[in-house]
Amino acid sequence: MKVEVDKEKCCGAGQCVMIAPDVFDQGDGDGVVILLRDTPAPEHRDGVREAVAVCPAAAIAIVG
């Protein structure tokens, strides 16, 4: 699994961080998503899939 984020689309809702904090973080000033691991460990993959599904801006994608 490979994850990509589109910082231009991100609205800073933070759902991804709450669901998968080992994979996503937010910028202090603007709240925009920060991808911590673009190839998450197997134990984090379900959380990544959920984060993709609930992202209101569709700023997260699984690409591989």
**DSSP line for 1-12:** --EEE-TTT---
Range of the domain at 10: 3-62
Query: End-to-end alpha-carbon separation of the chain, Å?
Result: 5
Q: Rounded to two decimals, what is the model's pTM?
A: 0.94
47-61 pLDDT per residue, tens? 999 999 999 999 999
Closest CA to 8 of 29, 28, 33: 33
Please state the domain count of the chain.
1
Percent of the chain with pLDDT over 90: 98
Distance (Å, whole) CA 34 – CA 18:
13
Here the tokens at position 50 are 């959920």
Here the tokens at position 42 are 């197997």
The CATH number given to whatever domain includes residue 9 is: 3.30.70.20
